[in-house]
Amino acid sequence: MKPVSEESPEEQHNMHGGKYGGGRNPTTRVERLLRDRELRKIKRAIVQDEAGSSGDGGEEAEPPEHPSENGTGKEAGGEPDDEIVYGPSTPVTMIGARSRSNRGKPMKQRLLVVANRLPVSAVRRGEDSWFLEISAGGLVSALLGVKDVDARWIGWAGVNVPDEVGQRALTKALAEKRCIPVFLDEEIVHLYYNGYCNNMLWPLFHYLGLPQEDRLATTRSFQSQFDAYKRANQMFADVVNKHYQEGDVVWCHDYHLMFLPKCLKEHNSKMKVGWFLHTPFPSSEIHRTLPSRSELLRSVLAADLVGFHTYDYARHFVSACTRILGLEGTPEGVEDQGRLTRVAAFPIGIDADRFKRALDLPAVKEHINELTKRFAGRKVMLGVDRLDMIKGIPQKILAFEKFLEENSAWRDKVVLLQIAVPTRTDVPEYQKLTSQVHEIVGRINGRFGTLTAVPIHHLDRSLDFHALCALYAVLVIVFALLFYVALVTSLRDGMNLVSYEFVACQGEKKGVLILSEFAGAAQSLGAGALLVNPWNIAEVSASIGYALNMSPDEREKRHRHNYAHVTTHTAQDWAETFGFNATLTESVESTGRRGGDQIKEMELKLHPELKVSLTALCNDTRTTVVVLSGSDRSVLDDNFGEYNMWLAAENGMFLRHTGGDWMTTMPEHLNMDWVDSVKHVFEYFTERTPRSHFEHRETSLVWNYKYADVEFGRLQARDMLQHLWTGPISNAAVDVVQGSRSVEVRSVGVTKGAAIDRILGEIVHSKSMVTPIDYVLCVGHFLGKDEDIYTFFEPELPSEPANSSRMKLSEASKPTPDKRLTGRSSSIKNNSRGSHVKSQRVPVGSEKKMSANHNIPAGWRSPQEAMSWREGSSVLDLKGDNYFSCAVGRKRSNARYLLNTSDEVVAFLRKLAEAASLGFAGNSDTL
Ligand X SMILES: O=P(O)(O)OC[C@H]1O[C@H](O[C@H]2O[C@H](CO)[C@@H](O)[C@H](O)[C@H]2O)[C@H](O)[C@@H](O)[C@@H]1O
Is beta strand 74-75 parallel, antiparallel or unpaired with respect to 179-181? unpaired
> Which one, 463 or 478, has the nearer CB to ligand UDP?
463
Q: Residues binding ligand X: what is the number (CB under 6 A)?
A: 16
Stretch that binds ligand UDP, among 435-443, 495-503, 602-610, 774-782 (CB under 6 A): 495-503
Stretch that binds ligand UDP, among 497-505, 585-593, 648-656, 700-708 (CB under 6 A): 497-505
> Which one, 176 or 254, has the nearer CB to ligand X?
254
Stretch that binds ligand X, among 133-141, 354-362, 615-623, 918-926 (CB under 6 A): 133-141
- For residues 715 and 755, the answer to whether their CB atoms sit within 8 Å is no
Q: Is position 499 an interface residue for ligand X (rule: CB under 6 A)?
A: no
Q: Is position 581 an interface residue for ligand UDP (rule: CB under 6 A)?
A: no
279 binds, among ligand UDP, ligand X, none (CB under 5 to 8 A by kind): ligand X
Judged by DSSP in three states, 506 sits in helix
- For residues 113 and 584, the answer to whether their CB atoms sit within 8 Å is no
Instruction: Please state, in angstroms and as integers, the Cα–Cα distance from residue 312 to each residue in 280, 281, 354, 491, 713, following that order.
Output: 8, 8, 30, 16, 17
> Which one, 371 or 899, has the nearer CB to ligand UDP?
371
117 binds, among ligand X, ligand UDP, none (CB under 5 to 8 A by kind): ligand X
The beta-strand segments (E) located in 493-625 are 512-516, 530-532
Binding to ligand UDP (CB under 6 A) within 438-467 occurs at: 462-463
User: Using CA of residue 379, residue 384, residue 388, residue 389, what is the dihedral sign?
Assistant: negative
Stretch that binds ligand UDP, among 130-138, 259-267, 509-517, 668-676 (CB under 6 A): 130-138
Q: Is position 139 an interface residue for ligand X (rule: CB under 6 A)?
A: yes
Q: Is position 727 an interface residue for ligand UDP (rule: CB under 6 A)?
A: no
Least separation, in Å, of the C-beta of 750 and ligand UDP? 43
Q: Is position 689 an interface residue for ligand UDP (rule: CB under 6 A)?
A: no
Q: Is position 392 an interface residue for ligand X (rule: CB under 6 A)?
A: no
The residues, any chain, with a CB within 8 Å of residue 434's CB and separated by 6 or more, are 387, 422, 425, 460
Q: Is position 728 an interface residue for ligand X (rule: CB under 6 A)?
A: no
Least separation, in Å, of the C-beta of 135 and ligand X? 7
Q: Is position 475 an interface residue for ligand UDP (rule: CB under 6 A)?
A: no
Q: Residues binding ligand UDP: what is the number (CB under 6 A)?
A: 17
* Cα pseudo-dihedral 166, 170, 173, 178, rounded to 10: -160
Q: How far is CA 696 from the centre of its chain?
A: 19
What is the chain's Cα-based Rg?
Answer: 33
> Which one, 279 or 624, has the nearer CB to ligand X?
279
Q: Is position 33 an interface residue for ligand UDP (rule: CB under 6 A)?
A: no
> Which one, 521 or 867, has the nearer CB to ligand UDP?
521
Least separation, in Å, of the C-beta of 418 and ligand X? 18
* Cα pseudo-dihedral 702, 708, 709, 715, rounded to 10: -30
> Which one, 138 or 307, has the nearer CB to ligand UDP?
138
**Alpha helices for 620-674 (secondary structure H):** 633-640
User: Using CA of residue 549, residue 554, residue 560, residue 562, what is the dihedral sign?
Assistant: negative
Q: Is position 69 an interface residue for ligand X (rule: CB under 6 A)?
A: no
Q: Is position 278 an interface residue for ligand X (rule: CB under 6 A)?
A: yes
Is beta strand 742-747 parallel, antiparallel or unpaired with respect to 734-738? antiparallel
Give the Cβ contact number of residue 334 at 10 Å: 24
421 binds, among ligand UDP, ligand X, none (CB under 5 to 8 A by kind): ligand UDP
Separation of alpha carbons 357 and 140, rounded Å? 19
Least separation, in Å, of the C-beta of 787 and ligand UDP? 46
If you count them, how many residues does the chain have?
927
Question: What's the angle, vertex CA 847, arms to CA 844 and CA 849, rounded to 5?
Answer: 120
> Which one, 174 or 678, has the nearer CB to ligand X?
174
Binding to ligand X (CB under 6 A) within 402-431 occurs at: 423-424
Q: How far is CA 536 from the centre of its chain?
A: 25
Q: What is the DSSP letter of 372?
A: H
Q: Is position 119 an interface residue for ligand X (rule: CB under 6 A)?
A: no
Stretch that binds ligand UDP, among 217-225, 494-502, 761-769, 894-902 (CB under 6 A): 494-502
576 binds, among ligand X, ligand UDP, none (CB under 5 to 8 A by kind): none
Q: Is position 138 an interface residue for ligand X (rule: CB under 6 A)?
A: yes
Q: Give me the DSSP letters along 139-160.
A: HHHHHHT--S--EEEEEE-SS-
Q: Is position 491 an interface residue for ligand UDP (rule: CB under 6 A)?
A: no
Separation of alpha carbons 155 and 115, rounded Å? 5
> Which one, 257 or 754, has the nearer CB to ligand X?
257
Q: Is position 473 an interface residue for ligand UDP (rule: CB under 6 A)?
A: no
Q: How far is CA 53 from the centre of its chain?
A: 46
Q: Is position 257 an interface residue for ligand X (rule: CB under 6 A)?
A: no
Closest CA to 897 of 801, 797, 818, 779: 779
Phi, psi of 279 (to 5 degrees): -100, 175
Q: Is position 713 an interface residue for ligand X (rule: CB under 6 A)?
A: no
Q: Is position 254 an interface residue for ligand X (rule: CB under 6 A)?
A: yes
Binding to ligand UDP (CB under 6 A) within 140-169 occurs at: 141
Q: Is position 391 an interface residue for ligand X (rule: CB under 6 A)?
A: no
788 binds, among ligand UDP, ligand X, none (CB under 5 to 8 A by kind): none
Least separation, in Å, of the C-beta of 133 and ligand X? 13
Q: Is position 348 an interface residue for ligand X (rule: CB under 6 A)?
A: yes
Closest CA to 180 of 79, 90, 61, 272: 61
> Which one, 145 or 713, has the nearer CB to ligand UDP?
145
501 binds, among ligand X, ligand UDP, none (CB under 5 to 8 A by kind): ligand UDP
- For residues 489 and 437, the answer to whether their CB atoms sit within 8 Å is no
419 binds, among ligand UDP, ligand X, none (CB under 5 to 8 A by kind): ligand UDP
Judged by DSSP in three states, 615 sits in helix
254 binds, among ligand UDP, ligand X, none (CB under 5 to 8 A by kind): ligand X
Buried b (16+ CB within 10 A) or exposed e, 307-316: bbbbbbbbbb
Separation of alpha carbons 184 and 235, rounded Å? 8
Closest CA to 792 of 837, 840, 839, 757: 757
What is the contact mask toward ligand X in residues 457 to 496, using x (rule: CB under 6 A)?
------------------------------------xxxx
> Which one, 257 or 544, has the nearer CB to ligand X?
257
Q: What is the DSSP letter of 404?
A: H
- For residues 255 and 205, the answer to whether their CB atoms sit within 8 Å is yes
Closest CA to 479 of 375, 365, 368, 379: 379
Q: Is position 384 an interface residue for ligand UDP (rule: CB under 6 A)?
A: yes
- For residues 180 and 153, the answer to whether their CB atoms sit within 8 Å is yes
Separation of alpha carbons 77 and 89, rounded Å? 14
348 binds, among ligand X, ligand UDP, none (CB under 5 to 8 A by kind): ligand X
Judged by DSSP in three states, 344 sits in strand
Q: Is position 142 an interface residue for ligand X (rule: CB under 6 A)?
A: yes
Q: Is position 180 an interface residue for ligand X (rule: CB under 6 A)?
A: no
Binding to ligand UDP (CB under 6 A) within 417-436 occurs at: 419, 421
Least separation, in Å, of the C-beta of 139 and ligand UDP? 6
Least separation, in Å, of the C-beta of 254 and ligand X? 4
User: Using CA of residue 267, residue 271, residue 276, residue 281, what is the dihedral sign?
Assistant: positive
User: Using CA of residue 659, residue 660, residue 661, residue 666, what is the dihedral sign?
Assistant: negative
Q: Is position 470 an interface residue for ligand UDP (rule: CB under 6 A)?
A: no
- Residues at the contact surface with ligand X, assessed by CB under 6 A: 117, 137-139, 142, 254, 278-279, 348, 423-424, 493-497
- Residues at the contact surface with ligand UDP, assessed by CB under 6 A: 136-139, 141, 384, 386, 419, 421, 462-463, 468, 495-498, 501
